[in-house]
Structure 1
Amino acid sequence: MRRYISVGGVVKPLVVTLCGSVKFKQAFWDANFNETMAGKIVLSVGGLEHDDHFDLTEEDKRMLGDLHKRKIDMSDEILVLNVGGYIGKSTEGEIEYARQHGKGVRFLEE
Structure 2
Amino acid sequence: MTYPELLTPEEKLADSKERLGIRDVVVLCGSMRFAAEMAEVAIVESVAGALVLKPDCNMKIARPLWADPADAEAIKVRLDEQHRQKIRLADRVLVVGSYIGDSTRSEIAYARELGKPVAFTHPEVDPGETAGVAQR
Question: Into which bin does the TM-score normalised by the smaller protein fall?
Answer: 0.7 to 0.9
CA separation in 2, counterparts of 1:108 and 1:97?
A: 19
Deviation of the 1:57 alpha carbon:
1.5
Q: TM-score, normalised by structure 2?
A: 0.67
CA distance 1:13–1:57, change in 2 (3 Å): same
1:33 maps to 43
Identity percentage of aligned residues: 35
Q: CA RMSD in A?
A: 1.9
Q: TM-score, normalised by structure 1?
A: 0.82
The structure whose residues are more often helix, as a share, is 2
Structure ranking higher on relative contact order (CA contacts 8 Å, 6+ apart):
1
Q: Aligned residues, how many? A: 101
Structure 1: runs of 5+ lacking an equivalent: 1-6
Which of 1 and 2 has greater Rg?
Answer: 2
Match of 2:115 in 1: 102
2:102 to 63, 73, 89: 89
Question: Hey, which bits of structure 1, 4+ residues long, moved more than 4 A?
Answer: 7-11
Displacement of 1:47 in angstroms is 2.6
Bigger strand share: 1
